[in-house]
Every structure is written in structure tokens, then in C-alpha cells.
């Protein structure tokens, strides 16, 4: 199938050709006709499948076909809600790429940066708004945003949105839009919470599933290293020196872990940057640009900060910590091995993470090959190190038993 078969109009076809896309991806092939048909749609697809264009292209076409005279001032007619700022920025960039030969305008608003410039652009008028939930509600409250003319509402990365606690905000935003509108819901996974949300706000939706997780990341060569927790840093350095090459994304579970590993790698002469939720927006943006432009070849990230970000040309993914949610593993490794290239994923598993390997393997239906030839093998009998909470000796009474026995009472 070609983009022409999807009945897209000339300005869009021109922009698509300039972006270097030859044919629509599967998710685009299936989603675009339904969106053009004004259907409610639920698409389960991961980042990397071309899902952004799957909603951006038909939205641009629908708006283009039904343009008001510019004199009336632009009204926001399509609203895209995104859980993270990075993803929101990326979606806006896609709208701008595909809409460059139309006079449709889009803008992006997100928290953590100054609100005034965003207000200025909004008052000038846009057709398409991409927003994170908090900032959108904030600006709506200040009367800068009018959602009365919304025709299409997109909820992108719905599963992440709910994981991040945006459920009430999303419901509120949906209610602020007109009753008669088209809703498109995109989600990498379809947990019960997402189904529930979809059932309450979408009307007889069409469903599209593009990435069955069992065939996840076919182009990725996966390998697992069992290693004591205390040796993970050494093993990581060993692998960076000897095995892992190119552009590398390392995942850690916590922000603290990300910062700590960054310091270690810098001290060992590597060019590294990080993205996590505690970093200011401009610093995260800078880190991403440095990675994309090749100033650094290693990026360390938490899942939430990295989700949805389009990082091309990734040679390897390192799971420094294994994720406790198996779908997260699929998301992580799916960032490499794109566009027909082979990618590599290296997972470091300590004794306490062994149960995660089991659930991951169940989900992907693949036994991840184990590499035993490395300098820090884990004793197969090693028990997880459990840090027992040491109850404070002061909690139960003012004095510990020992001190009570030893001391003579003064009374």
C-alpha cells in the first residue's frame, strides 16, 4: 500500500515524501482510514511503529479539508494529550513536519517551563494543540485555552498516562471538550485500567493491534548476564570496554541510580548524559540533543523519562536494572533493532531480580540466552540480599532493653 492509496491530499503527500517515507507502516495503514472516517479508535502500538503519523496525518487532512477563513481567528480543533514533555515536543515536531505545506498551525504546551511564551502563541491562535495534562488544565483555568471547538481528542501513551496518575486529569479534559467529538486512544499496552477508561469515554471504538508483544523485538539480539548486585558497575564497565559499541541507552530504575552511574562512567572517561524526572526541562532537552547529535554516545535514563522519546540509530540497550513490569522490558529493547537493523540488548540480573526474568520470558515467549563467560558470575545458589528494616530501638520505649538493665533507676 502507498500513501496515495490512503487518500491523503497533496500537501501532506509532499511533506511525507520530503520526510523520506516510502510507504505507510502497518499501524498507519490500519489507523488512517478509520480516523478519516471519523471513527473512535483504540490502537495498541509501541513507539517506533509510526503511530504518531497514524493520527497526525489524518487529523491534518480532516482539518485541512474543513478550514475556516483565516480572518475568524484560529480555534483549537484537535487536542493531543501526552504524558511526558519530551513526547509532547516530539509529537508537535511531527505535526509541523507533516503540515508544513498547509497553513495549519500547531503548538505544544507543557509544565516546568515559563508559561508566558506559551500563552502568547495560544492567543495568536492554533489549530492543533499538544499538551501535557497539568499545564493544559492550568491554562484552561486561566481562560487562555478554549476547548469548545475540539473535534478530535487524542490520548497518546494512555497506559503511561494512567501509570503517572493522570487519570482524573484526563477525564476532566475529556469533559471540557464538546460531547460530540472523535477520540483516538493510543497505548503500548492495554492493561485493565486503560480498558476501563476507554469504555467510559469512547463510543463504539474500532480496535487495532499492531505489535503483539510475543513477536516483540525480533531484530534484537538479547543476552542476559547473571551478576551479583555489588558487581553490576564493574560488569557494565567491562561490557562497555569489550562488547557494547555505538549509541547506547542504559536503563536504571531510579533517578538516584541514573546519577550515580553517570558519575562512574564519566570518571572512567565515557561521554555520557542522563534524562530523568528530576532534571529541568531544558537540561533533559539538551541531553537528548547531545545524544542525537553524537556529542555523547551513552544516555542513561529512567523508564518514565525515556518513554515515547524517538531515539533513532540506537545500537544497544542495557538493562542495568531489570524492570519489574515485563512490558517495560519489551518497550526498552524495542528501541533498538529498528528499520531492519540488528540491535543488541544486554540485561544485568542480580539474585533478587531473577523472578523478573521469569515473567519477562513468559511475556515474550523467548528464553533469553545467558552469557556465562564474564568476570563477575553470580553463584547460582546466591540468595537475594534483603535489607531488613532495622526497627529503631527508640520506637518501642524511650530506652532499649540493654540500657534499661544496665542502668540503675534514680527513683
Q: Which of 302, 41, 331, 327 is closest to 186 using CA atoms?
A: 41
Distance of CA 227 to the CA centre of its chain: 28
At 133, list the grid cell: 495534562
Q: Which stretch binds ligand AMP (CB under 6 A): 22-30, 212-220, 246-254, 341-349?
A: 22-30
Q: Residue 281, CB half-sphere, CA atoms under 13 Å: how many?
A: 12
At 14, list the grid cell: 509532499
**DSSP character at residue 409:** P
**DSSP character at residue 368:** P
State the nearest-atom distance from the C-beta of 305 to ligand AMP, in Å. Answer: 16
CB nearer ligand AMP, residue 98 or residue 225: 98
Residues 126-165 that bind ligand AMP (CB under 6 A): none
Distance of CA 217 to the CA centre of its chain: 16
State the nearest-atom distance from the C-beta of 339 to ligand AMP, in Å. Answer: 8
Whole-number Å distance between alpha carbons of 169 and 162: 10
Work out whether 221 is an interface residue with ligand AMP (CB under 6 A).
no
CB nearer ligand AMP, residue 21 or residue 376: 21
Residue with cell 534484537: 220
Strand ranges in 82-133 using DSSP code E only, listed in sequence order? 106-109, 128-131
CB nearer ligand AMP, residue 21 or residue 149: 21
State the nearest-atom distance from the C-beta of 53 to ligand AMP, in Å. Answer: 4
# chain residues binding ligand AMP, by CB under 6 A? 13
Q: Is residue 273 a contact partner of residue 287, using CB atoms and an 8 Å limit?
A: yes
CB nearer ligand AMP, residue 340 or residue 375: 340
Distance of CA 380 to the CA centre of its chain: 34
Residues 293-312 that bind ligand AMP (CB under 6 A): 310, 312
Q: Is residue 186 a contact partner of residue 157, using CB atoms and an 8 Å limit?
A: yes
Which ranges in 145-227 belong to alpha helices (H)?
Answer: 158-163, 167-176, 192-201
Q: Which stretch binds ligand AMP (CB under 6 A): 6-14, 21-29, 150-158, 246-254?
A: 21-29
CB nearer ligand AMP, residue 108 or residue 240: 108
Residue with cell 534524562: 275
State the nearest-atom distance from the C-beta of 121 to ligand AMP, in Å. Answer: 23
Q: Which stretch binds ligand AMP (CB under 6 A): 19-27, 195-203, 218-226, 239-247?
A: 19-27
CB nearer ligand AMP, residue 31 or residue 345: 31
* Cα–Cα separations (whole angstroms), residue 171 to 81, 137, 385: 11, 11, 42
Whole-number Å distance between alpha carbons of 329 and 222: 11
CB nearer ligand AMP, residue 321 or residue 327: 327
* 3-class state of residue 186 by DSSP: strand
State the nearest-atom distance from the C-beta of 262 to ligand AMP, in Å. Answer: 26
At 270, list the grid cell: 565515557
CB nearer ligand AMP, residue 29 or residue 262: 29
Work out whether 24 is an interface residue with ligand AMP (CB under 6 A).
yes
Nearest-5° Cα angle at 357, 341 to 374: 70
Nearest-5° Cα angle at 376, 370 to 380: 60
Q: Which one among 13, 14, 25, 259 touches ligand AMP, defined by CB under 6 A?
A: 25
State the nearest-atom distance from the C-beta of 331 to ligand AMP, in Å. Answer: 12
Query: What is the DSSP track for 227-286?
Result: --GGGHHHHHHHHHHHT--SSEEEE-SSHHHHHHHHHHHHHTT--EEEE-TTS-HHHHHH
CB nearer ligand AMP, residue 25 or residue 221: 25
Q: Which stretch binds ligand AMP (CB under 6 A): 42-50, 72-80, 223-231, 403-411?
A: 42-50
CB nearer ligand AMP, residue 25 or residue 113: 25
Residues 43-102 that bind ligand AMP (CB under 6 A): 47-53
Work out whether 315 is an interface residue with ligand AMP (CB under 6 A).
no
Q: Which one among 21, 149, 270, 376 touches ligand AMP, defined by CB under 6 A?
A: 21
CB nearer ligand AMP, residue 95 or residue 329: 95
Q: Which stretch binds ligand AMP (CB under 6 A): 18-26, 30-38, 127-135, 323-331?
A: 18-26
Residues 158-187 that bind ligand AMP (CB under 6 A): none
Residues that bind ligand AMP (CB under 6 A): 21, 24-25, 28, 47-53, 310, 312
Amino acid at each position: 500500500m502507498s500513501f496515495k492509496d490512503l487518500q491523503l491530499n497533496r500537501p501532506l503527500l509532499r511533506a511525507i515524501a520530503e520526510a523520506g517515507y516510502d510507504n505507510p507502516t502497518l499501524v498507519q495503514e490500519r489507523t488512517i482510514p478509520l480516523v478519516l472516517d471519523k471513527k473512535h479508535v483504540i490502537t495498541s502500538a509501541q513507539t517506533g511503529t509510526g503511530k504518531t503519523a497514524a493520527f497526525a496525518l489524518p487529523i491534518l487532512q480532516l482539518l485541512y479539508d474543513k478550514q475556516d477563513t483565516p480572518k475568524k481567528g484560529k480555534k483549537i480543533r484537535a487536542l493531543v494529550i501526552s504524558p511526558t514533555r519530551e513526547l509532547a515536543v516530539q509529537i508537535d515536531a511531527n505535526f509541523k513536519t507533516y503540515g508544513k505545506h498547509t497553513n495549519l498551525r500547531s503548538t505544544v504546551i507543557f509544565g516546568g517551563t515559563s508559561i508566558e511564551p506559551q500563552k502568547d502563541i495560544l492567543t495568536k491562535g492554533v489549530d492543533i494543540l499538544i499538551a501535557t495534562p497539568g499545564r493544559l488544565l492550568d491554562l484552561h483555568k486561566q481562560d487562555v485555552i478554549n476547548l469548545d471547538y475540539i473535534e478530535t481528542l487524542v490520548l497518546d501513551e494512555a497506559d503511561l498516562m494512567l501509570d503517572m496518575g493522570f487519570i482524573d486529569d484526563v477525564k476532566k479534559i475529556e469533559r471540557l471538550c464538546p460531547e460530540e467529538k472523535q477520540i483516538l486512544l493510543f497505548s503500548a499496552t492495554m492493561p485493565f485500567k486503560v480498558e476501563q477508561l476507554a469504555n467510559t469515554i469512547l463510543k463504539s471504538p474500532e480496535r487495532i493491534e499492531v505489535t503483539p508483544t510475543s513477536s516483540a523485538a525480533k531484530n534484537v539480539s538479547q543476552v542476559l548476564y547473571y551478576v551479583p548486585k555489588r558487581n553490576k558497575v564493574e560488569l557494565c564497565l567491562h561490557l562497555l570496554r569489550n562488547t557494547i559499541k555505538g549509541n547506547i541507552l542504559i536503563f536504571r530504575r531510579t533517578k538516584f541510580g541514573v546519577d550515580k552511574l553517570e558519575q562512574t562512567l564519566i570518571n572512567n572517561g565515557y561521554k555520557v548524559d542522563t534524562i530523568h524526572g528530576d532534571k529541568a526541562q531544558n537540561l533533559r532537552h539538551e541531553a537528548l540533543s547531545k545524544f542525537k547529535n553524537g556529542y555523547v554516545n551513552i544516555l542513561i535514563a529512567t523508564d518514565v523519562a525515556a518513554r515515547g522519546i524517538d531515539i533513532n540509530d540506537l545500537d544497544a540497550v542495557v538493562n542495568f536494572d531489570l524492570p519489574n513490569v515485563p512490558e517495560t522490558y519489551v518497550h526498552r529493547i524495542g528501541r533498538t533493532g529498528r528499520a531492519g537493523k540488528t540491535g543488541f540488548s544486554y540485561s544485568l540480573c542480580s539474585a533478587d531480580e531473577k523472578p523478573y526474568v521469569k515473567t519477562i520470558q513468559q511475556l515474550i515467549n523467548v528464553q533469553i540466552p545467558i552469557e556465562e563467560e564474564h568476570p563477575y558470575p553470580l553463584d547460582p545458589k546466591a540468595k537475594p540480599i534483603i535489607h531488613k528494616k532495622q526497627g529503631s530501638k527508640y520506637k518501642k520505649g524511650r530506652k532499649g532493653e540493654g540500657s534499661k538493665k544496665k542502668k540503675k533507676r534514680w527513683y
